[in-house]
């Protein structure tokens, strides 16, 4: 099911056009309007950008499309594969700016005894299950070059905002990602959790969401697109209205008091926890769906059991599930990862108090693909030191 289509700013690039916008353009070229849908389907449904391969279009139109230029506005400058199947792509845009996007195959459990010849076993000699990359792939995409929000635990925040990404650049990450999936993989989920605060680039992100979920395009279904935000209250309200609550929401919360949250997430000085919670309570969530609350556990900063209790209290009345993210070690950072037993105790405390919580499996550690670690090298190629909260 596609998302509702809100009023959008005009398309700036051919890859941003919706079928009806293509129909308009093609009409101006003297082509029948129905060809607009065909061009859109070639690009967004089949991932074909070479007009010569658009075999149901007349030669004259293919030549005109070649002139128009349908190339992606970005290229892969580095591809880092990880041991767990995760692939991090560093992509370079036409102005030389770089962002990262990550392909993450969902892990599937396999029983090593299934073929009867496994020699994997634990200390008791019992065969142990293994997790292997499966066929369903989630892609994490970026929405800005850098980020203006300045969260102290986040590499993008330290970099500052360089510029917004265009809708064509945002969508092109997915076109590119899909072309790099293997035959047995299916790109099913998109998460806007890469570099940037998506709601700070609202117009371009809104158009990208419409393109990615268009039934004649990639047709990503509801529940398949998750937007992660640091909590820009007016823009969450706008998203709720524009997309009727169909966009899955994830909130980077990370602290339970205004004082603490403001010290690690400056946006909290503008939109307090009370304002944010009130906004989440009015978000028009479809039935049986919940908002994901992202809570990065940082040792000695927010991982005390009293924080867990305060989190339960804060989220009362919000349809929420909590995603606990043990902070990934960042080189040169004064912030430390939580202890493993501390993470378990925190999760259990939430659970005991009736709050559903899970610990995010860390993926792609060896390529620094986890949240807040994308493109954290400076323009000079040197890592930045993160400040202490
Ligand atoms: S956590 Fe998100 S909002 Fe905060 S600085 Fe990083 S990218 Fe920006």
11-38 tens-digit pLDDT: 899 999 999 999 999 999 999 999 999 9
Collapsed DSSP state (helix, strand, coil) of residue 154 = coil
What tokens appear for 28 in the block? 């101006």
Predicted local confidence at residue 138, as pLDDT: 95
Q: How far is CA 349 from the centre of its chain?
A: 28
The residues, any chain, with a CB within 8 Å of residue 317's CB and separated by 6 or more, are 277, 281
Ligand 1 centroid–CA 228 distance in Å is: 9
64-73, 115-124, 151-160: range with lowest mean pLDDT: 115-124
Q: What is the pTM of this model?
A: 0.87
Per-residue pLDDT at 331 exceeds 70: no
Predicted local confidence at residue 122, as pLDDT: 45
* Integer Cα distance of 174 and 194 in angstroms: 13
Per-residue pLDDT at 153 exceeds 90: no
* Integer Cα distance of 387 and 220 in angstroms: 39
> Per-residue pLDDT averaged across 344-357, rounded?
96
Average pLDDT of the chain, as a whole number:
87
Collapsed DSSP state (helix, strand, coil) of residue 250 = strand
Contact call for residues 188 and 136 (beta carbons, < 8 A): yes
Ligand 1 centroid–CA 301 distance in Å is: 18
Q: Whose CA is nearest to atom 5 of ligand 1?
A: 157
Per-residue pLDDT at 381 exceeds 50: no
Check if 156 has its Cβ closer than 6 Å to any atom of ligand 1.
Answer: yes
Predicted local confidence at residue 156, as pLDDT: 82
Per-residue pLDDT at 119 exceeds 80: no
178-216 tens-digit pLDDT: 999 999 999 999 999 999 999 999 999 999 999 999 999
Check if 277 has its Cβ closer than 6 Å to any atom of ligand 1.
Answer: no
Read off φ and ψ for residue 92, nearest 5 degrees.
-110, 130
Q: Minimal CA–CA distance to 156: which of 388, 389, 370? A: 370
pLDDT band at 332 (very low <50, low <70, confident <90, very high): low
The residues, any chain, with a CB within 8 Å of residue 346's CB and separated by 6 or more, are 297, 303, 305, 307, 308, 324, 338
61 strand-pairing partners = none
Contact call for residues 100 and 86 (beta carbons, < 8 A): no
211-261 tens-digit pLDDT: 999 999 999 886 899 999 999 999 999 999 999 999 999 999 999 999 999
Check if 197 has its Cβ closer than 6 Å to any atom of ligand 1.
Answer: yes
80-84, 160-164, 302-306: range with lowest mean pLDDT: 80-84
Check if 372 has its Cβ closer than 6 Å to any atom of ligand 1.
Answer: yes
Which residues are catalytic, by number? 100, 371
> Per-residue pLDDT averaged across 366-379, rounded?
45
Which one of 191, 236, 252 would you pick to mutate in the ligand 1 pocket, going by the greatest count of ligand atoms within 8 A of its CB? 252
Q: Minimal CA–CA distance to 189: which of 252, 253, 110, 134? A: 134
> Per-residue pLDDT averaged across 113-132, rounded?
51
Which domains occur in the chain, in start order?
17-68 (1.10.150.530), 74-110+127-367 (3.20.20.70)
Which one of 102, 196, 199, 327 would you pick to mutate in the ligand 1 pocket, going by the greatest count of ligand atoms within 8 A of its CB? 196
DSSP category for residue 271 = S
Per-residue pLDDT at 6 exceeds 90: no
Ligand 1 centroid–CA 159 distance in Å is: 10
Q: Whose CA is nearest to atom 4 of ligand 1?
A: 151
Ligand 1 centroid–CA 175 distance in Å is: 24
DSSP category for residue 44 = I
Ligand 1 centroid–CA 304 distance in Å is: 23
> Per-residue pLDDT averaged across 109-123, rounded?
53
The residues, any chain, with a CB within 8 Å of residue 17's CB and separated by 6 or more, are 11, 25, 40
Q: Whose CA is nearest to atom 2 of ligand 1?
A: 197
* Integer Cα distance of 226 and 242 in angstroms: 15
Check if 196 has its Cβ closer than 6 Å to any atom of ligand 1.
Answer: yes
Q: Minimal CA–CA distance to 90: which of 81, 103, 82, 80? A: 80
Predicted local confidence at residue 126, as pLDDT: 47
User: What percentage of the chain reaches a pLDDT higher than 90?
Assistant: 70
Q: How far is CA 187 from the centre of its chain?
A: 13
Q: Whose CA is nearest to atom 7 of ligand 1?
A: 196
* Integer Cα distance of 217 and 187 in angstroms: 13
Ligand 1 centroid–CA 120 distance in Å is: 41
Q: Which atom of ligand 1 is nearest to the CA of 228?
A: 2
């Amino acid at each position: 099911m596609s998302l509702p289509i809100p009023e959008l700013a005009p398309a700036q690039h051919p890859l941003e056009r919706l079928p009806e916008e293509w129909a308009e353009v093609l009409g101006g070229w003297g082509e029948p309007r129905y060809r607009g849908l065909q061009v859109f389907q070639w690009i967004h449904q089949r991932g074909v950008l070479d007009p010569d391969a658009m075999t149901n279009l007349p030669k004259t139109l293919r030549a005109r499309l070649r002139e128009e230029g349908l190339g992606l506005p970005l290229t892969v400058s580095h591809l880092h594969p990880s041991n767990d199947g995760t692939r991090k792509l560093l992509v370079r845009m036409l102005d030389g700016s770089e962002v990262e996007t990550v392909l993450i195959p969902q892990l599937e459990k396999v029983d090593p005894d299934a073929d009867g010849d496994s020699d994997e076993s634990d200390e008791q000699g019992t065969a142990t299950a293994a997790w292997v990359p499966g066929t369903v792939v989630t892609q994490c995409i970026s929405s800005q070059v850098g980020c203006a929000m300045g969260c102290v635990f986040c590499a993008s925040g330290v970099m500052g905002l360089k510029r917004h990404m265009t809708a064509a650049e945002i969508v092109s990450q997915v076109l590119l990602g899909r072309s790099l999936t293997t035959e047995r993989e299916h790109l099913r989920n998109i998460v806007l959790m890469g570099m940037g605060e998506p709601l700070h680039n609202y117009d371009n992100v809104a158009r990208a969401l419409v393109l990615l979920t268009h039934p004649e395009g990639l047709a990503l279904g509801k529940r398949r697109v998750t937007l992660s935000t640091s909590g820009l209250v007016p823009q969450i309200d706008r998203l709720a209205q524009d997309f009727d609550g169909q966009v899955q929401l994830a909130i980077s919360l990370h602290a339970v008091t205004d004082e603490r949250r403001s010290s690690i997430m400056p946006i909290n000085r503008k939109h307090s926890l009370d304002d944010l919670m009130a906004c989440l309570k009015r978000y028009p969530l479809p039935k049986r769906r919940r908002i994901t609350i992202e809570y990065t556990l940082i040792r000695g900063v927010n991982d005390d059991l009293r924080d867990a209790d305060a989190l339960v209290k804060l989220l009362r009345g919000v349809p929420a599930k909590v995603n606990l993210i043990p902070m990934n070690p960042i080189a040169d950072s004064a912030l430390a990862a939580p202890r493993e037993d501390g993470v378990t105790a925190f999760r259990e405390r939430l659970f005991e108090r009736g709050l559903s919580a899970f610990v995010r499996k860390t993926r792609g550690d060896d390529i620094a693909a986890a949240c807040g670690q994308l493109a954290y090298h400076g323009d000079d190629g040197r890592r930045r030191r993160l400040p202490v909260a």
